[in-house]
Copies of this chain bind each other. A is one copy, B any other.
Amino acid sequence: MIKKPTIKDIANIVGVSTTTISRYLNGKFENMSEETKSRINEVIIELRYEPSSIARSLKTNKSGMIGLIVSDVMKPFFSMLSKGVSDACTEEGFQLMIANSDNDKFNERKHLKTMKEYNFEGIIINHTGMNLDFLLDLKEEGLKLVLVNQSIDNRSIDSVTTSNREITQIAIKALFEKGYEDIYFVDEPMDNSSVRNEIFMGFRLGHQSYSGDLEAKHVIFKADSLESTFKEICCNYKKRRTAVFCVSGSILLQTLSYFKSRNIRIPEDLGILGFDDLDWTDAIVNGISVIKQPIYKVGREAAKLLIERINGERQANEAVHLILKNTYIERESTQLIK
């Protein structure tokens, strides 16, 4: 393993100083003889010289890299988000590095620190909520930060989110108007992210603006057995026109699968509404109605916002909060038939 050539080696061979090489590398040709210029070029190619980004970064405090920290790489949500961020970054000439905090406070912290120390130009993050103070400190220290799909209480950090509450309200109201009499909210247990809260608020408002207040029985958290989870619904659907709002892809799948196994037909016996437009929701069972977040766009916008910050194209004093519109996609799973 041969030692990599440095700027010094080039300088020695060409017979000029390192300064000149550095100038060459940074495209400062204004005052440089064609002669030396081409000699340098030759030698660089000959030795396959490549500047050390790390040394450069130590000096300049720049890196050309942007970080994205997600809380769970496994979720389709983050795949789409990453794609959006990634596309925007390459378009603008930045390099994206994605890290997975895996919902762990310590990992998250470590990634933030490392990225900061390696002079990442900015970080887009969907945080775990366990490092709020740390995030604020970093922001304070001048790190460029954009939150995705969440914002922070004091709203001091830029964010890009979607209008979950409004759209949920609209969708629920639409279901009521269509004739559904009972709409159930089915969620994972213990999921109290801010997104989930927003959706729930929308759900409640949808109820209020149509059928009066929400009853406790309308909110279901997945239990150990699907049997007991869906007991109430199974009893209800024969008596009243019933729909189920599944707030995660995984819940939606389990719900579909359970009702299928019980020979409960959709939409004849039961209406189904999902959240997030996963690829299979359109293709199967005649289509599942869903509320769709523009996830890819959230990623893009977050990256664009961050890059504007990096380039100093934004007023530094005030945080920006972008809110993107969701859409309600009606498919067959909520075509009330009976």
Contacts and interface: CB of A to CB of B under 8 A. Distances in A.
Interface string A77-116: 0111011001100100001111110101001001101100
Contacts of A278: 280
A286 B74 CA distance: 25
Contacts of A260: 284, 286
Interface string A31-62: 00000000000000000001011110110000
Given A50-B117, A76-B79, A83-B100, A257 B279 contact: no
A159 interface: no
A118 B79 CA distance: 25
A253 interface: yes
Contacts of A279: 249-250, 253
A113 B54 contact: no
A80 B74 contact: yes
B283 A117 contact: no
B90 A111 contact: no
A312 interface: no
A256 interface: yes
A73 interface: yes
A13 interface: no
Contacts of A98: 73, 97-100
A254 interface: yes
Contacts of A50: 113, 117
A88 B73 CA distance: 14
Contact of A117 (B53, B76, B111, B249): B53
A99 B95 contact: yes
A286 B260 CA distance: 8
Given A82-B100, A96-B99, A97-B99, 10 more contacts: A4-B141, A65-B114, A73-B98, A75-B79, A90-B107, A98-B100, A253-B279, A254-B283, A257-B283, A284-B285
Interface of A: 1-2, 4, 50, 52-55, 57-58, 64-65, 73-76, 78-80, 82-83, 86-87, 90, 95-100, 102, 104, 107, 110-111, 113-114, 117-119, 141-142, 249-250, 253-254, 256-257, 260, 278-280, 282-286
16 contacts: A54-B118, A54-B119, A64-B114, A65-B114, A73-B82, A76-B79, A78-B79, A79-B79, A95-B99, A97-B97, A250-B279, A253-B284, A257-B282, A257-B283, A278-B280, A284-B285
